[in-house]
Structure 1
């Protein structure tokens, strides 16, 4: 067996309408499926199981499910609510003699315990690791034709055996995976979520064990391993070759993405150097579809706080704030992420635009950039950016004196590096001054019309860039947006960001939106998730309950009759609202209370006059359109 080779995955048994078979390339001993929940990783693994027949070298194909401890729950938990809180720990059994013949077909821990009962050599390997690393021992016993499994502590002289059902979930998962890995009768092993119940260090240990056995199954003791994971501990991406073993999943209805390590882009030294130093944060970006790149820890702290404060649900929507050290790394990181099927966005300081066109050029060179440029009345996006940038630089160089007194008050000028080109500091400061003032104020300086004109052209460029996912901080840096703390020194930036977060979390949503709008737009671009609004979720039920109540309510109607009538129509759902009646002269009103302490909905109690339009009243009270 030699790598690479292709496998056609048969997905005909998935039961999903419109699904088509997929093809993946096996580039090494371990192939990893990555993607968010619901992206089809498990379906691909299951389809792969039935498609590996010609690649197992005559050996067994074993699939280990994410719910592999399922059969133990009858003994480990009060699974039906009738155990009185006392699970049946001590009667746990795991199959009979006949079931061991089906152990490679069994997708749960029963198959692994069956392996340990049949293969003393595998049992010894597992026992040795449990003893030395976790101070545990495992023994198996056939009792009345049923397999029982016991653990004991090896660090206690008087320790006695106890039922495996009493052992920690993490160690049980570990035993299952190790038994499957060491089984040399298996030529292809598929593990769904090997990280389940394992802490990060234990995940790293399991990954090391996987790498020891993974390889061409034509070699002694080696097998092809396929895993689906949500953990960075099971990702090795320090080289182009390792990156090519990852299958990036977005949706089961779409073809998964794999990179070809032989294409020209991956011969770039910068890209290869980036892969060798990918940290944990970068690896997290591999799990999301639209990572948001920022310049450092302060930007990440503020973005994360705004995300929480305004309920943007960035991570749930498939994004991740990814700090990149040094803005010079932006182009190569963006290029890498695009090559593996991601759609990265960028939130950058103003100098990402004022210093040169290297960073924004990564966005204006996209195919769709010219489409967006045409919507703004321009044919060519790179040319549009270049012309505006050159004219801006020329205006700053020729007419700096027009705005010098004002622009030199900006952070960029005060903290400039005097050893570097002073013209760079002028461009940065001038940009921030322009976007910190209205047109009337700008017009008042010498050559004001020219400065207003270039501001409008820069605004056009910023609109184009934001459509492409590139957001420039108009005030300069993230610190310029702070409302609750003065700028500290560079060494204190993370501390300043933390103080700022404490302040902004105490503000109302409208204030945060206004103060951090440039940052908010970037977060919303990456999230693109609809706002969670529980008022919308209950509106239809509320109208369904109150409309017939309004139609039937009379002066002689009692509150009990109102509630009984609603319950007859809607059952338990009607209990969400407490209905009562109020009279005011000849007018009759229906009062509605929300009978829940967990729903976050404003506008209650409602008071609705009989004969009025309940839709208008409900929408107004709940602030819905």
Structure 2
């Protein structure tokens, strides 16, 4: 281990295991039997012996049980600080998910304490436990949501709204919730005076390729949130999953190494720009084949979250897999890559690309088969928030918003966004072709809507029906009728 004044660690060395060129996310790949699990446990044992230098958590590969609180687990965790570590020091952990449920409840308490002691979070109306933590768990789920109940967290079916017992949800969903809880708990218990290590042993086990990819995005999102402590955080994981690797590889935080049998030194190397560029496509071929999902290339993370929510809300009707480009230039590169590759993989390939309007009106993009390319008929995806269907999701109308906005303006004479809210409320076209990124979550706050703006827009899109195309619908107008018909109702009879 090499450390400096900033606690930067460049290598981890156990009794035999040696991990070099450490990055924030460190992927350890290798065949079955190569000793990847033993390698991580060796590092965990070293870090646990050096508690004055390290904070370490190890997540074992076989995660059994149900995501519900268990009094016996709580007692064991309270009586013996090392009990959880000892039970996860082997490949089988029979009550893993029950412990995860306890940790998630503790993570809520820790977040609320952080909220109370951090003015920049406390004064931001867009940030709370639901938006910063619970929403991250729900981004991994398709058919259910995890919600705050009266006394505990509850699972709710998105199909009929009924609450579900933790024993009744699918093994993949239970796995995803437990893993998300472990990841969130680790980040919320980071010790700034130490080097913090999260060891994830085959986190892809039991997860559909989509969930594997989303899990990678969750890890990246948490590192983004704690980037001020990036020099003292390392997530080390072993995996066989190409969707997980490719999801993680689309990040500057990532290095990859290979663990071979009888070789105990893993030398990590940063992922290349080329791998990051093609990762979304290589990471999703199984799901594309099984569910007829089509890649939807999007310009930014906001759009990605909106379409993930739309796909979940539609309960399978919207068959797209959002692919993040990150910029207009990279979107063009991914389009070219898609044109060249998809025809060699599939008999009847189809993919889509959706760009921001950016103030451009009535200038459609030419398709590049097999890619169909579209431009939003508004400035950006957040402008859709002001359409009637999205306002309805928030329980109001345009007239209701105008009244609430003007009331808010009167009550907040010094707010820096007061002028833009006033302009929006007085606009004839709801600022359709103007940048409103600064106030998108403020719109929700003005209406006392606790949902993040991406969830509102995604739910409105996911609720669209084929018959809406024949009627006057502001949401379809802002999105573009051709895009809605081709992408959202691609498989409609």
Tell me the TM-score range normalised by the shorter chain. 0.3 to 0.5
- Normalising by structure 1, report the TM-score: 0.33
- Normalising by structure 2, report the TM-score: 0.41
By relative contact order (CA 8 Å, sep 6+), the higher-ranking structure is 2
